[in-house]
């Protein structure tokens, strides 16, 4: 217990002094839902809520028409910095391509985060309005662009459109990071209409069932993060703020909106499905699979929307450099570190990831080797606890025959009979005589479990393992396509089961468990990322070595003899 308390205290102190979080945002208002339709599916909605449309200033009559401002043809504008290359089109003043220069897709080409298979559902930075007719008009109109050709960040790009009684302006500002600034305004009949910038349909790295399954809509309010998986996302629902940040993301990438005014922010969620060829390299319209795609629109309910948009990797140091707003114009809110979901044991998983990254930077240039080093260090650190656990288990197994003899003497008494208390007293006295603590085998395991789960969670969410090679493994973030790792896991788990003495278990049951457990774990490992399989395999090999040594101690040899004696009795 003292070891456990010291470990927890060290972890908490490390979090306080090394990884201190930012101040929390204002209190959360309970999200309210509407039943508006999903714009990406082009379903009909007749009007916006009255609260989201402001009147003409000074009580004047609404304007009936504005001077026309429409481009004659479609033109594209490319914006670049060291991190991205964005291709805008003046048709709808939206994004056709958003390439991250430092990342590759599965074919080795620069990664485009615009999902081409889902682009028919809408393009990024199109606008959501509750009026479908207005929505279709402003997302298909030809805007007048302030610049064409190419722009190198820092820079600014403005789009304007006016026709009849409708006018729209969009202004985008670009700097040297993954973040851009967005300002939009839509007026109709002289009144400002709520119109929210969208990321409507998935991300471009989604190309398989696991990647589509990892999609979520997430948002932070009052310092707390809500993570909505596909089954919890309804198309067309409106969630009211305040939001520090909100948007869609998947396992490794995210499109996160950061409203300038969190208190008046709102988010509309989109949930659609698309059909894609089962084999993208050999498209066949008769051989397709359906996937869910999620999206979101975030804007200001007052009408004019001002926000920033982060589109990039879920790399911890990148996310920590982006702060949200806590009040209009004040970027003092929490950063985006919580976009990475390290799970229930994030208190441990985050330091483990930083440790893994340090190992990669200073000790090994390969991520697979870094995982092996970290696994060895963790297992050596936990070795004293494991030895205590293994010794306790062996002693408990040694006492099984005596414990069964005591239980046999008292089995004729009902469970509530006072004589049962005498049985418990005899067993306790037996423990005391033999120096056995019945909880001795459990406590070390309980202390180890948080580290095991944290390591698992950390490896599953580390973008650094994406497309990282190791030996025959081409991508440590995806399963082994040759299925070599699952086979190694099955064999190593079988050896561990075979080597572990269990004199308190019936030999036939032990034989069944020795076979069934490895097969079950091997089945699960088929879908595990290769990095996790490497961690698991190395842990098994270390466990085999530990068990080999334990089996050759005096206690281990005695347990073997006990097992063989019980097996001979069963044979008779």
User: Mean pLDDT in each 10-residue stretch from start to end of the chain (572 residues)?
Assistant: 53 48 35 36 36 41 66 94 95 95 88 92 94 93 91 94 93 94 93 94 86 90 88 89 91 93 92 85 80 94 92 92 78 85 83 89 90 88 76 73 79 76 81 72 67 79 86 86 88 81 58 75 80 87 84 74 67 58
**Per-position b or e across 36-58, b if 16+ CB within 10 A of its CB:** bbbbbbeeebeebeeebbeeeee
In 316-432 the beta strands, taken as DSSP E runs, fall at none
Q: Do both 164 and 84 map to the same domain?
A: yes
Distance CA 403, CA 399 (A): 6
Place of tokens 């009684």: 165
Residue 56 domain flag = no
Task: Give the structural domain span for 372.
Answer: 351-399+436-566
Q: Do both 128 and 203 map to the same domain?
A: yes
Q: Do both 299 and 362 map to the same domain?
A: no
Among the candidates 384, 413, 435, a domain finishes at: 435
Residue closest to 485 by CA, chosen among 499, 498, 470, 497: 470
Q: Do both 322 and 375 map to the same domain?
A: no
pTM of the model: 0.76
Q: Do both 136 and 275 map to the same domain?
A: yes
* Residue spans of alpha helices (H) in 300-366: 316-320, 346-362
Q: Do both 418 and 443 map to the same domain?
A: no
Name residue 167's beta-bridge partners: 162, 187
Residue 25 domain flag = no
* Residue spans of alpha helices (H) in 230-324: 316-320
Rg, Å, the chain Cα set? 30
Q: Do both 175 and 67 map to the same domain?
A: yes
For the four alpha carbons of 170, 174, 177 and 183, in that order, the dihedral sign comes to negative
Among the candidates 288, 315, 339, a domain finishes at: 339
Q: Do both 375 and 408 map to the same domain?
A: no
Residue 523 domain flag = yes
Question: How many structural domains is the chain composed of?
Answer: 3
Q: Do both 325 and 449 map to the same domain?
A: no
* pLDDT value, residue 148: 84
Q: Do both 525 and 421 map to the same domain?
A: no
Q: Do both 475 and 499 map to the same domain?
A: yes
Residue 23 domain flag = no
Q: Do both 427 and 496 map to the same domain?
A: no
User: Contact at 8 Å (CB) between 375 and 535?
Assistant: yes
* pLDDT value, residue 277: 83
């Amino acid at each position: 217990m003292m070891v456990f308390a010291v470990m927890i205290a060290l972890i908490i102190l490390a979090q306080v002094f090394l990884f201190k979080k930012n101040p929390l945002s204002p209190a959360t208002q309970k999200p309210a839902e509407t039943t508006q339709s999903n714009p990406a599916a082009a379903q009909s909605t007749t009007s916006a809520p009255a609260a989201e449309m402001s009147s003409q200033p000074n009580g004047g009559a609404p304007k009936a028409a504005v001077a026309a401002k429409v481009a004659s043809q479609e033109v594209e504008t490319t914006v670049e910095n060291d991190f991205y290359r964005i291709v805008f089109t003046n048709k709808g003043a939206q994004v056709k391509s958003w390439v991250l220069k430092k990342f590759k897709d599965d074919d080795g080409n620069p990664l485009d985060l615009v999902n081409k298979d889902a682009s028919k559902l809408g393009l990024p930075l199109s606008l959501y309005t509750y009026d479908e007719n207005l929505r279709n008009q402003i997302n298909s109109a030809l805007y007048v662009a302030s610049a064409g050709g190419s722009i190198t960040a820092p820079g600014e790009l403005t789009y304007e459109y006016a026709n009849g009684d409708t006018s729209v302006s969009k202004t985008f500002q670009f700097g040297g990071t993954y973040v851009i600034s967005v300002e939009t305004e839509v007026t109709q009949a002289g009144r400002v209409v709520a119109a929210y910038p969208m990321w409507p349909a998935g991300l471009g790295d989604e190309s398989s069932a696991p990647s589509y399954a990892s999609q979520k809509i997430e948002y932070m309010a009052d310092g707390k993060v809500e993570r909505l998986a596909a089954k919890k996302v309804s198309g067309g629902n409106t969630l009211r703020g305040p939001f520090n940040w909100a948007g869609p993301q998947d396992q490794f990438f995210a499109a996160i909106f950061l409203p300038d005014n969190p208190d008046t922010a709102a988010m509309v969620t989109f949930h659609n499905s698309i059909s894609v060829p089962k084999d993208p390299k050999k498209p066949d319209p008769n051989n397709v699979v359906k996937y869910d795609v999620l999206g979101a629109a975030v804007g200001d309910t007052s009408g004019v929307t001002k926000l920033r948009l982060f589109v990039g990797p879920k790399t911890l140091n990148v996310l920590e450099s982006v702060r949200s707003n806590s009040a209009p114009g004040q970027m003092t809110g929490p950063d985006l570190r919580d976009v990475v979901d390290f799970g229930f044991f994030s208190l441990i998983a985050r330091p483990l990831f930083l440790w893994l990254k340090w190992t990669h930077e200073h000790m090994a240039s390969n991520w697979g080797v870094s995982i092996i080093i970290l696994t060895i260090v963790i297992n050596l650190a936990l070795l004293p606890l494991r030895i205590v656990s293994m010794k306790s288990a062996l002693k408990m197994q040694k006492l099984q025959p005596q414990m069964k003899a005591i239980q046999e003497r008292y089995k004729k008494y009902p469970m509530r009979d006072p004589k049962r208390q005498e049985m418990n007293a005899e067993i306790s006295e037996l423990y005391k005589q033999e120096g056995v603590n019945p909880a001795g085998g459990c406590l070390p395991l309980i202390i180890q479990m948080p580290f095991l789960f944290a390591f698992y969670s950390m490896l599953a969410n580390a973008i650094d393992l994406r497309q990282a090679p190791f030996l025959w493994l081409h991508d440590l973030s995806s399963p082994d396509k040759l299925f070599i790792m699952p086979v190694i896991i099955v064999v190593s788990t079988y050896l561990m089961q075979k080597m572990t003495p269990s004199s308190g278990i019936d030999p036939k049951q032990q034989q069944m468990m020795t076979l069934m457990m490895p097969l079950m774990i091997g089945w699960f490992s088929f879908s595990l990322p290769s990095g996790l399989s490497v961690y698991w395999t190395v842990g098994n090999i270390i466990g085999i070595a530990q068990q080999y040594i334990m089996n050759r101690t005096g206690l281990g040899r005695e347990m073997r003899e006990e097992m063989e004696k019980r097996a001979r009795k069963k044979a008779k």
